[in-house]
Structure 1
Amino acid sequence: MNDSVRRRGRPARLSQDAILLVAQEIVESGGIDALTMRAVGERLSSSPMAIYRHVRDKDELLLLLLDRVAATLERPESPADPRQRLVVLWRFLHDRLAAQPWVVGVLAGGDLAGPSILWLVEEMLQAFLACGLTAAQAGAAYRAVWQYTVGVLTIRIAMARTTAELDRPSFQSVMIASVDPGQTPAIAALAGEWPHAWDNYELGLNALLDGLMPRS
Structure 2
Amino acid sequence: MNARAPGRPRILSRERIVTMARRIADDEGLDALTVRRVAQRLGTGQASLYRHIEDRDELLRLLAEDVAVHLPGPKECPDVREQVIGQWLDAYDYLSQHRWAARIIAEGEHVADGASAFAESALDALRVLAGGAQESRADLARVYRVLWHLLLGHVLNVHPVGHTHSEGAGLESADKSEEPDTVPAPGPHAASTSRDDLVWALPRVLDGMLGTP
User: 1:10 deviation in Å?
Assistant: 7.7
Unaligned 5+ segments in structure 1 are 1-8, 160-170, 181-192
Does the aligned pair in 1 maintain the 2:71–2:118 contact within 8 Å? Answer: no
Matching residue of 1:53: 51
CA contact (8 A) 1:107 1:113 kept: yes
CA, structure 1 residues 140+71, in 2 after alignment: closer, same or farther (shift >3 Å)? Answer: closer
1:104 aligned partner: 102
Partner of 1:143: 145
The alignment of Structure 1 onto Structure 2 pairs a total of residues equal to 182
**Does 1:206 pair with 2:177?**
no
Shift of 1:79: 3.0
Task: Summarize the Cα distance change of 1:197–1:210 in structure 2 as closer, same or farther, 3 Å threshold.
Answer: same
Counterpart-to-counterpart distance in 1, 2:23 and 2:92: 22
Picking from 115, 118, 143, the partner of 1:117 is 115
Structure 1 residues 71 and 140 mapped into 2: Cα distance closer, same or farther (>3 Å)? closer
Look up the equivalent residue of 1:46 and give its one-letter code. T
| 1:106–1:112 contact (8 Å) kept in structure 2 | yes
Amino acid at match of 1:136: A
Partner in structure 1 of residue 179 of structure 2: none
TM-score normalized by the length of structure 2:
0.71
Change beyond 3 A, Cα 1:149–1:74? closer
Between the aligned residues of both structures, percent identity stands at 29
Instruction: Provide closer, same or farther for how the CA distance between residues 10 and 25 of structure 1 changes in structure 2, counting only shifts above 3 A.
Output: farther
Question: For each residue in 1:159-191, what CA deviation from the matched residue of structure 2 results, as whole angstroms up to 9, or x when unmatched?
Answer: 7xxxxxxxxxxx9548x49x88xxxxxxxxxxx
In the TM superposition, residue 86 of structure 1 has moved relative to its aligned partner by 1.8
Scaled by the length of structure 1, the TM-score of the pair is 0.70
Q: Is 2:127–2:140's contact at 8 Å kept on the other side of the alignment?
A: yes
Judge which range, 144-153 or 198-207, deviates more. Answer: 198-207
Secondary structure of the residue aligned to 1:198 is helix
